[in-house]
Structure 1
Amino acid sequence: MPAALTKAGTEDPAPPAAAREPAPGAGGNRRRLRREYLLFLALIAPNFLFIAVFSYWPVIYNAYLSLTDWNMIAPIKNFVGFDNYVDMFTSLGFGDVMLTTVYFTVGVVGGSMALGLAIALLLNQKLRGRDFVRTMTFAPHVLSGAAVGLAWTFIFDPNYGLSRAFFSAFGASSPSWLTDSDWALPAVMIVYLWKTTGFAAIVYLAGLQNLPKEVYESASLDGAGAWTTFRRFTLPLLSPVTFFLVVTSTISSFQAFDVIALMTNGGPGSATTILSWFVYDSGFRSFQAGPAGASAIIMFVILLAITLVQTRYLERKVHYK
């Protein structure tokens, strides 16, 4: 048949290809979305499986064990409810453990950040051999805790260690660091400070090197002194770094174990028994799964609460720009 003519006598142009082809239906869209969801699930399934097996399930099973009375040998676990939690919160010994944990955490976290910032400020200067010093500063952080514990056990030996030579230079005798309950916790804190300060120093140093130079140029033109510049510009600009270190250092200090295991075994008495060592001692030395599980859940809740508080309140004081 002849093509249809317009009023001008010309042929009507053919409709565009998009208009001739029908749009895909809703069924095609659903199949495409289903394939994308299945691909997404296939990609995340291995990671989710490993996280569920090695992270979530141990926490759930530990919470169940905290409600039982089990010696880790008997085939039957006696359900006792919240008796383990009541016993711990009413025990003076557990109160001492929590107090020791607070002393240890505050001392290690505060000390490592203060010393780390001071070292970072020093290493940020143009000094000869600073690259070598930076490497040596960070080296203790990557050393094995077992090696660090053994080395410092020799250093603290009151008869043959290096501390004896240090105190002898001042005409004094070295204290019994690891066998005296008054000195054991400070000794462990010194070791952890030596091991963790380098990490804080390197992180602070990276933050210092990324601070905007125009801020300091403006402060210098305004006549601001070194202390004023540090207090009003450097510290606020380093607040993201400080926030990061507070969170990570707090979690790390609660999980401290290796150096205590090598140097003091939580002693003498319970002088160096922090919460992480109490969990190990209750579970794998006293074979009391219930108290061990309950103390582990308490530590989990405390860390979760501390992290939430730090994120909620401290982050408000962080200056990201």
Structure 2
Amino acid sequence: MKAKVAVLISGAGTNMAALLYAAKAADCPYELVLVASNVPGAAGLAIAKAEGIATWAHSHKGLDRDAFDALVDEQLRAAGAEFVALAGYMRILSDDFVARWAGRMLNIHPSLLPRYKGLNTHAQAIGAGDSHGGCSVHVVTPALDDGPVLAQTPVAIAPGDDAESLARRVQFAEHQLYPATLAAFVMRERSPDWLRDRVRELAMALPEADEVTSHGMPCFGIAKGKKFAYFTEDHHGDGKIALLVKISGADEQAALIEMDAERYYRPAYFGDGWVGIRLDLGDTDWDAIGEWLRKSWLAVAPKKLAGLMGVAEEF
């Protein structure tokens, strides 16, 4: 199942087109489900329409930033987008919009960040006497061009280069860098190593937690005590990557499976007191996983230790 990506543009959409054509490869892990713009006449919209991609456009003029971003967010969610790629989107995003897509929105910027945030990046690189300009793909955070950098491509500044000639070559680099970086980014949430590390981080943050290997799986418990979680990868050939946590019994297990049979399941050989939660669907709510781990920990924690956690949470 391919990750669903929406792209936001304001103009020609050349980076959007690079993402779109990369997505045509059978082994590309993402697909474009929407191209949206704050400029109804943006040329990139016509490219997307011609290629059969859903489009949406609405001018931001006359709307405050929060109101416009709420409209965009509504369209992204209606399209089923799991990730957002900014591709020449010339709008500063509201903090609320960024928070809604935290960890799921990327941007490509025409400089080697953290150098030259904002505009006129090529002229600044040439004016500073740099040997290279380039481009960066980063995770979007509220601060402009300030999120974690995922990948960069340096582009040599040749003798006689001006901002325009350098920009043309950097654009070639952008079209190579963005699709590859986006593909790697959407795949990480289906990567066993990445998923295991996230579970480990959350589980080991609980009081007196320890990790051992049990039944060939990473297993988390209270030191010298009972186990409260397992990380499973193709356990008994089931093809799933999942977290197993304790629950109250058969009724809760059945209710969870009935609510979402794709995500929840009865783990083999663990009985009614456990439930499996799929982590490899690409849309894991990690706050919810943290809460599942906390509840599972409480189910096995000695009363004194559980009481101390309750006191700590009050503060």
Query: Same fold judged by TM-score > 0.5?
Result: no
Normalized against structure 1, the TM-score is what?
A: 0.22
More strand by share: 2
Normalized against structure 2, the TM-score is what?
A: 0.22
Which protein has the larger Cα radius of gyration, Structure 1 or Structure 2? 1
More helix by share: 1
